[in-house]
Amino acid sequence: MGSGVVLFNSGAKRMFGADTNRHIVALYIAIRNDEVNPDRVRRFLQSEGETLRAEGERHYYRIRERFNAEGSPLDFLFLNRSCFNGVMRFNKKGGFNVPFCKKPERFAPALITKIANQVAGLQRLLRSSREVEFVAQDWRATLAAAEPDDFVYLDPPYIGRHADYFNQWTDADALDLATATASLPCGFALSMWLENRYRRNDHIAQSWSGTEVRTWNHFYHVGSSESLRNEVVEALVIRKGFEATPPLPLRSTAVEDDGSELEDLTLFA
């Protein structure tokens, strides 16, 4: 599922989101069930943000330790918005291990309002759908449940780049995914990087033959090192047989054809 941003912008009335990262799944379940809502998010970030401003990184690491012990969705949201460069990374024991962003004043009123509004937008979206389910499970179980009238969007770790966000992802895993996807009874699209100024990703040509590949350029502002923050040619790998267009990147200022603004549902930094 990745961050869920493509799922939430799909326009589907029935949605099923699955990921091995149980913390992303738990956050969206909590938002759907109103356990995490705009008012609670606002109060939580105001309170913890004031403490962060007063105590700095000591409070960040206190929250990180608490999250790794208890797994609170609110703590997870706090960490994602105050960690180094918005990086999502866990150690081999399953603990969130990204350092502090060095900005004690991080939770300014404008940012808190933006996050609360994003949660409100997600709640409206999830309540307007006929059926929404989120599950923490392996991708193999997810694909095994696909039916002919489904459409599957896959957002695996980018092989050949940093791929260990929550658990390991190897070349063998990427090959297994390509093999399993070829047997799906329905259409699909997969996000993957194609090339940058240093090298090209041969995995697409080797493992995804017989598909349509659409490309566009994207600049990475988020990355654990400066070498990972550069322009990349992204690829959307599509199986023919259905009408498909590349997902539009979300922008806070996006505008519909009728002039109305689109909601920014990019909850993760």
Count how many Cα atoms sit within 13 Å of the Cα of residue 91 in the half-sphere of its side chain: 8
**Percent of the chain as helix, strand, coil, to the nearest 5:** 40, 20, 40
pLDDT of residue 221: 57
Sheet with 212-219, edge to edge strand ranges:
151-154, 187-196, 231-238, 212-219
Three-state SS at 105? coil
What's the confidence (pLDDT) of residue 124? 93
For residue 30, CA distances in Å to 4, 53, 77 come to 14, 27, 12
Residue 252 confidence (pLDDT): 36
Q: Which residues contact 29 (CB under 8 A, 6 or more apart)?
A: 134
Report the length, in residues, of the chain: 269
CA geometry: angle at 163 spanning 250 and 14, to 5°?
45
- For residue 31, what are its two tokens? 């938002």
Can you give the pLDDT at residue 220? 66
- Mind listing the pLDDT tens digit for each residue in 153-201? 999 988 876 555 566 788 899 999 999 999 999 999 999 988 888 889 8
- How far is residue 214 from each of residues 2, 6, 68, 182, 234, measured CA to CA in Å? 20, 16, 39, 18, 8
As a dihedral over the C-alpha atoms of residue 70, residue 73, residue 77, residue 80, rounded to 10 degrees, the angle is 50
Which residues in the chain land under pLDDT 50?
241-262
Question: Residue 133: what pLDDT?
Answer: 95
List, for residues 72-95, the tens digit of each pLDDT value. 999 999 999 999 988 889 998 999
CB proximity list for 134: less than 8 A, separation 6 or greater: 1, 16, 17, 18, 25, 28, 29, 32
Domain 138-238 listed as CATH 3.30.470.20: no
Q: What is the pLDDT of residue 226?
A: 56
Closest of 181, 123, 173, 184 to residue 150, by C-alpha = 184
Cα-to-chain-centroid distance, residue 181 = 20
To the question of pTM greater than 0.85 for the whole model, the response is no
CB 27 within 8 Å of CB 101: no
* Domain extent listing, the chain: 30-93+102-116, 138-238
Torsion angle, alpha carbons of 263, 77, 86, 10, to 10: -30
Residue 115: the pLDDT is 97
The neighbour count for residue 199, using CB atoms within 10 Å, is 8
pLDDT number for residue 15: 94
Q: How far apart are CA 188 and CA 190, in angstroms?
A: 7
The pLDDT value recorded for residue 260 is: 37
Whole-angstrom Cα distance, residue 240 to residue 209? Answer: 12
